[in-house]
Amino acid sequence: MTPVPPPGQPWPIGFTATCLRATLYILLIAGLAQGAYIEALHYPEVRFSEYGFTELAQSAVLLAASLLLLYTRQVLRVLPTVTLLMFAFTFSSFIREQDYFLDTRVAYHTWKVLVALVILPILFWVIRERRRFVEEFASYANSFSFGFFAAGVLVTYVFSRLYGRGAFWEAILQEHYVRTFKDAAEEVVELLGYALILIAVIELTLLARRWALARRNG
C-alpha cells in the first residue's frame, strides 16, 4: 500500500463538481432533517427510540462511512493507517449505536466487548506504524475532508452531549419537561454530526481516487 499520495497529485476540484457535490450534501442533510421531522409528527410510538428513523439513520450513516473507509484502504490503497484509524472510530461508533439490541438480545455490555475487539488491535497497529501514520496525516490534514471530519466529531461527541443534558432542558422547560425533548435535541444533533463525518469520508474517498489515478498515470 502506498502510505502517502504521489507528488503532483491533482488537488484542484472544478467549479461544476463542487456545485454538484454541495447540492448532494444539502439534499443529504435536508433529507435527514425531514426524516426526523416526519418521525416526530407521524410516528409517536417510536419517536427518537432505537426503532425510530433518527436512530436507524445514525446507524446507516456510520455503516456507510465505515464501508467507504474500507474501500479507500483496501481497494484504492491510499492512506492505509489513517483510514484504518478512522474506520476504527466510525465502526466502533456504529457498534455503540447498537447497544440496546446487543444488551437486550445478546448479553449486557456486549457492545463494549465488540468495541474493544475493534479498537485495541487497530490502535496497536497504528502505534507500531506511527511514523507512517504521521506522514499520511500530514497529507490528510490539509484536505477538505479533514475539516468536515473534525467538525463532525466536535458536533457529535462534544456539542450534542452538552446540548442534550437533562438539566439543561429541565431548566428551560421547567414543569413542562418531558424526556422526549431532551432525546430529540441530542439525537438530531448527533445525526447531523454523523452526516458531517459521512461527507468527510466521501470527500476522502474521492480525493483518494484522484491520488490513485495519479499514481497509475505517473
Percentage of the chain with pLDDT > 70? 94
Please tell me the predicted confidence (pLDDT) of residue 15.
87
Instruction: Dig out the grid coordinates for 192 from the structure.
Output: 447531523
Residues of the chain with pLDDT under 50: 1-10
Give the 3-state secondary structure of residue 8.
coil
Cα 70 off chain centre by: 13
Nearest-CA neighbor of 4 among 142, 150, 151? 142
Please tell me the predicted confidence (pLDDT) of residue 14.
81
The crossing angle, in degrees rounded to 10, of helices 80-97 and 53-74 is 160
Please tell me the predicted confidence (pLDDT) of residue 197.
98
Please tell me the predicted confidence (pLDDT) of residue 9.
47
Please tell me the predicted confidence (pLDDT) of residue 7.
41
pTM (two decimals): 0.92
Please tell me the predicted confidence (pLDDT) of residue 5.
47
pLDDT digits (tens, 9 = 90+) for 127-156: 999 999 999 999 999 899 999 999 999 999
Q: Is 153 exposed, middle or buried (0-12, 13-18, 19+ CB in 10 A)?
A: middle
